[in-house]
A and B are shown apart, each in its own frame.
Chain A
Amino acid sequence: MRTSRTLGMVMIAPAAIMIFLFYLMPVVLTAIFAMTNMSTATGISGGAWQVTASAVNRLKTTLPELANGIAEPRFVIDEDGLKELEALKLKPGFATELRAQHIGGVYPSRREAERDIKALKDRPNTREVKQISDIFNRSVLNTRFESRDALMTSLDKLGFKLTPEQQQIVSDATYTGWVWTSENFSTIANSPDMLQILINTGIYVAVTLTLFNVTYALFLAVTTHYMPSNTASVFRAIWLLPRITPVVIYILLWKWMTWDNGFISLFLAQFGVPPKNYLLDSAYNAWFFVILINGFIGASMGMLVFSSAIKAIPQTQFHASEVDGASRWQQIRYIILPQLRWPILFVTCYQTLSLLASFQEIHLSTRGGPGKSTEVWSLAAFHTALNNYTGNLEYGLGAAMALVLVVVGLVLSLIYLRVFRYDTLISKPLIED
């Protein structure tokens, strides 16, 4: 018993590891990222402690004395430094001459200190100059400390005795990395642009789904059902073309058709219509094409599912209805549709989720334009977290947006199950009981 259980564990382990790595981890990581303020400026891998001019500004209100004390760079040629220099085993002349000529020298900037170091008779090269000036640096300004303790030790050496509370203030003000925060969600909730993007997403998903992914797919499935099977196969293959064409090429074709110098413009020019960019002319135009592009790609899947579901309906039902004198419409209404409830639920649910998450067609065609009129939630998350002109990648905010999408998807799925009365779909048929 025990061995068979162990064996079962071993057998399932590869799958479990895969599920954990590729299915659960992305969501977990997204949730973790969403609770941070990670961005290009904070980095992902953690930060350092650096007393920059802006950190000094932040400290001015709480610790004015310290802020004024560390605000200026300071280089001092002193005995400690000279000993350290000798230990470096560069040319001995450096330390000797510095001790003889410059001991006690104080410089308000690195550049000025280096001017004296450069002028030493033994002519240190640039690298040595930098090494030497580092030794005599007696300020913490702009130095990057890899740990909090290193900064505190340096401050301590410079004569700033700080209490633990003060140390915490300094640490907070100088830390360059990311911190935990829930601000991303309040930003999303309060931004009028986010609301607009949400509305865009709602329109995009609802219209594409109802018009194309379900209705149009259903239309294709039913019409091909009534065709001779060879003709039907040809038509189904044609309707599948948008799905099997690489998306970049498929959208390039749409662009060629809609650009100022594209097919539509050239064709209409024959009738004296001035050329224009039909894809980006107005928000309505952009939506029209975005929905068309996505709809034609998406409809093929519904068509396949519905066709096979219709095939599964016993032919006898159609024959019987024809004996009863039912019209095509009556067949559709009373035989086909009632038996397609399950596939329609499946397609609606599945396509809602895939429309919510898909943005590549919009990214390639309108890039969310004109303005931000076709910017949908997933595209906005991509732009925020990974790809924008200013290079200001806000990983935290983008992850929070992605997380919102996961929640919306789950909620919608639950609603669909309710609307389609999932429980009745899975209950056993009464007749066989």
Chain B
Amino acid sequence: MTILPILKSAVLATVLLASTAVIASAKDVTISVWSGGSGPNDNYRVDAIEIAADILEREAAIRGEQLNIIVQKTPYNGWDDFKQALTLAAEAKKAPNIVATGHEDIGPWAQSGLIVPVENYLDLDSWPLNDIYPNLMEISSFNGTVYGIPQDAESRPMFFWKPYMKAIGYTDADIEALPAKVEKGEYTLKNVLEDAKKMQDKGLVQAGYGFYPRNSNGPDFWQFYTSFGGVMEEEGKLVFDKAAMQRTYQYFADLVKAGVTKKNHIGLPGDQWWKEVATGKAGIWHGGTWHYARLVNQEGLKDFFGNVQFTLIPAGEGGKANTLTHPLVYLLTSGHTEEETQIAADLVKIASEPRINALHAIKSAHLGISPSETKVDLYSSDRWASEATERLLPHANAMPNNADFGKYWTIMWKNLEATWTGAKTADTAVKDAETELKSTLGASIVIR
């Protein structure tokens, strides 16, 4: 009678012990991944790491190791709060293992020791890393060291609402030929202003809707500086081209003066902006390749190609037609064990494989990171991805990876905004920017 319960508990204890032994031999690793600027279409920025974790676990199992990876995903919708959260978390030694952010963060974050180079953990000669476009790898480097793995690519076109273009006298053939004309520099920013004005004069769009730029600060505005002949960096030194910046500032002042762009356009609620460009309230606007996904998926613009033409950002005086690519990169943060960081690096590598990366590229209408990705069915059968890759990517510039670029950007933007709203003239704005650049950046920037 008494033997049985004792036996029972003994068996139970053995089973329990055995089970803990199994658990102890299994390795539990928690990998956290954060991404910035990630809306509802960008979930694969963090989900790709989860898919990679599954594959890495299986690979470990085949080698006879038990690896259990728990992926903690934190996508942030915007940029301001994301960068604040990440920087402060890192200072408090609580940074996530992997972070997907804009490549321009590499400079300052590498200098402050917040991130570690991926080349310390990954063999860059191995597939799929050796297949990634070399210019994207270049953008992921700082001081000759590869810090990040490109997570996506994109470019930023000028969009035209076709029905209005027709209404002001363009034929279907003209509209079809527009991208080539822009590329050759025959259709310029001056024409954009004129056509926007025509659309308004004809009553097709309301005042201030002829040319409808981005409603907030963004890398986009450097494209106009390039269009007017400006250069952002030369031989590792930032460059402030006064004449080109003056023309850029003046252009936005002219747009407002002509009434085709609103004086108070900046700070407009984002949702309103999206709804308006999707429903033909705006005549000409600029945006990014990923806008396609939002316009079609969330904003209900079903016949995109029937309504919208897209081109490079046209040339201005003294410059050439261009576009900007602002790739996001996966970065590894410091302050974790070597083992964790190695696993994080392996996950990033797997997540960069063509099929997995294509999920993000197509869902969010970004561009692929490697030639083989463009051959994945999902990618090659997507009209937007293939046309945008072909028309835009060869002409894409990128912002420089420079620890001081953020300061330059802040000053450049502040003065553009001041010219736009009429608080300063273009000349004063350039002069103020020059003064501030000299005092904050000194010898790190070439002013000419």
Q: Which residues of A contact B (CB under 8 A)?
A: 39-45, 47-48, 50, 52-54, 57, 73, 110-111, 114-115, 118, 126-127, 129-130, 141-142, 144, 176-177, 186-187, 190-193, 196, 259-261, 274, 277, 280-283, 366-367, 369-373, 386-394
Q: Provide 6 A-B residue pairs closer than 8 Å at the C-beta atoms, listed in order of the A residue.
A: A41-B108, A280-B267, A282-B264, A370-B263, A388-B410, A391-B108
Known A-B contacts A392-B406, A392-B407; the reply to A142 vs B111 at CB < 8 A is: no
Which residues of A sit under 8 angstroms from B81, Cβ to Cβ? 387
B94 within 8 A of A: no
CA distance A115 to B36 in the complex (A): 35
Partner of B266, one of A111, A127, A369: A369
User: Does B421 contact A392, Cβ atoms closer than 8 Å?
Assistant: no
Whole-angstrom CA separation of A387 from B86 in the bound complex: 11
Q: Do A73 and B144 contact each other (CB < 8 Å), given the known contacts A126-B121, A274-B206?
A: yes
Decide: A110 and B119 in contact? CB cutoff 8 A: yes
Complex interface: chain A residues within 8 A of B269 (CB): 259-260, 277
Query: Could you say which of B80, B122, B409, B440 contacts A126, with CB atoms under 8 Å apart?
Result: B122
- Report the bound CA distance from A118 to B124 in whole Å: 12
A283 neighbours in B (Cβ, 8 Å): 421, 423
Report A425 CB to chain B, min CB distance, Å.
43
A329 to B414, CA, bound (A): 50
User: Which of A129, A144, A390 has the most CB atoms of chain B within a 10 A radius of its CB?
Assistant: A390
Pick the residue among A39, A45, A191, A387 that contacts B108 (CB under 8 A).
A39
- Asked whether B91 is an interface residue with its Cβ less than 8 Å from the other chain, the reply is yes
Interface residues of B in 211-231 (CB under 8 A from A): 216-218
Contact A43 B114 (CB under 8 A): yes
Q: How far is the CA of A392 from the CA of B413 in the complex (A)?
A: 13
Instruction: Report the 8 A-B pairs with minimum CB-CB distance, sorted nearest first.
Output: A392-B406, A391-B83, A371-B421, A43-B112, A369-B267, A41-B108, A370-B264, A52-B143
Q: Which of B111-128 contact A (CB under 8 A)?
A: 111-114, 119-126
| Chain B residues, CB < 8 A from A186 | 439
Do the beta carbons of A41 and B107 come within 8 Å of each other? Answer: yes
Q: Nearest residue in B to A392 (C-beta to C-beta)? A: B406
- Smallest CB–CB gap between B276 and chain A, Å? 9
CB-defined contacts of B79 to chain A, threshold 8 Å: 389, 391
B318: Cβ under 8 A from any A Cβ: no
Task: List which B68-121 residues lie within 8 A (CB) of chain A.
Answer: 79-81, 83-84, 86-88, 91, 104-105, 107-109, 111-114, 119-121
Q: Is the CB of A126 within 8 A of B123?
A: yes
Contact partner of A111 (CB less than 8 A), chosen from B109, B124, B236, B421, is: B124
Assuming A40-B406, A130-B120, A280-B267, what are 7 further A-B pairs, CB within 8 angstroms? A40-B108, A41-B404, A47-B112, A53-B143, A176-B113, A186-B439, A277-B264
Residue from the list B111, B409, B418 in contact with A392, Cβ < 8 A: B409
Asked whether, in the complex, the Cβ of B423 is within 8 Å of the Cβ of A372, the reply is: yes
- Given A40-B87, A57-B236, A176-B111; A373-B125 close (CB under 8 Å): no
Contact for B272 among A54, A191, A259, A282, CB less than 8 A:
A259
Residue B250 CB within 8 A of the other chain: no
Q: Is the CB of A390 within 8 A of B107?
A: no
- Determine the residue in chain B with the shortest Cβ distance to A54: B236
Among B81, B143, B216, max chain A CB count under 10 A is at B143
On whether the beta carbons of B143 and A54 are closer than 8 Å, the reply is yes
Q: How far is the CB of A37 from chain B (nearest CB, A)?
A: 10
Query: For residue A73, which residues in chain B have a CB less than 8 angstroms away from its CB?
Result: 144
Verify A118–B121 contact, CB threshold 8 A.
Answer: no
Q: Which of B35-86 contact A (CB under 8 A)?
A: 79-81, 83-84, 86
Size range of the chain B interface in the assembly: 35 or more
Question: What string of 1s and 0s marks CB contacts (under 8 Å) between B404-448 and chain A?
Answer: 101101100010011011010000000010011001100010000
Known A176-B112, A190-B439, A192-B435; judge A370-B87 contact (CB<8 A).
Answer: no
Q: Which residues of A contact B342 (CB under 8 A)?
A: 127
Q: Which of B324-382 contact A (CB under 8 A)?
A: 342
Chain A contacts for B91, CB-based, 8 A: 43-45
Q: Does B145 contact A (CB under 8 A)?
A: yes
Let me know if A393 and B268 touch, CB within 8 A: no
Tell me the minimal C-beta distance from B87 to chain A in angstroms. 5
Residue of B121, B125, B406, B440 touching A390 (CB-CB under 8 A):
B406
Contact A367-B112, Cβ < 8 Å, known A111-B124, A193-B414, A261-B272: no
Residue of A nearest to B78 (CB): A389
* Residues of chain B within 8 A of A48, CB atoms compared: 113
Flag if B80 contacts A389 (CB, 8 Å). yes
Assembly CA distance A373 to B83 (angstroms) = 24
In the complex, how many angstroms separate the beta carbon of B141 from the nearest chain A beta carbon?
11
CB of B403 closer than 8 Å to a CB of A: yes
With A43-B91, A390-B406 as known contacts, state yes or no: A282 contacts B263, CB within 8 Å.
Answer: yes
Identify which of residues 268-311 in chain B touch chain A, using a CB-to-CB cut-off of 8 Å: 268-269, 272
Report which of B80, B216, B432 forms a contact with A387, defined as CB distance below 8 A.
B80
In the complex, what residue of chain A is closest to B442 when comparing beta carbons? Answer: A183
Q: Which residue of B lies closest to A134 (CB)?
A: B120
A residues less than 8 Å from B86 (CB atoms):
391
Residue of A42, A115, A366, A371 ringed by the most chain B CB atoms within 10 A = A371
- Give min CB distance, A215 to chain B, whole Å: 30
Q: Quick check: B272 and A142 within 8 Å, CB to CB?
A: no
Which residue of chain B is the closest to A371 with respect to CB atoms? B421
Q: Are A260 and B272 in contact (CB under 8 A)?
A: yes
Contact at B423–A391, with CB atoms within 8 Å? Answer: no
Question: Which chain B residues border A373 with CB–CB below 8 Å?
Answer: 421, 423
* Bound Cα distance from A81 to B330, whole angstroms: 33
- List chain A residues, Cβ under 8 A from B444: 54
Given known contacts A40-B108, A40-B109, is B410 in contact with A392 (CB within 8 Å)? yes
If the complex has contacts A260-B272, A372-B414, A373-B423, are A391 and B87 also in contact, measured as CB distance less than 8 A? yes
What is the chain B residue whose CB lies nearest that of A282? B264
A195 CB to nearest B CB, Å: 11
Residue in contact with B409 in the complex, picked from A50, A114, A142, A390, CB distance below 8 Å: A390
Contacting residues, chain B, for A280 (C-beta < 8 A): 264, 267-268
Write the chain B residue with the least CB distance to A56: B143
Question: What chain B residues lie within 8 Å of A47 (beta carbons)?
Answer: 112-113
In the bound complex, residues from chain B placing their C-beta under 8 Å from that of A44 are 91
Residue of A nearest to B82 (CB): A391
Give min CB distance, A328 to chain B, whole Å: 44
A76–B445 CA distance with the chains assembled, in angstroms: 36
Q: Report if A372-B418 is in contact (Cβ < 8 Å); known contacts: A44-B91, A48-B113, A129-B123.
A: yes
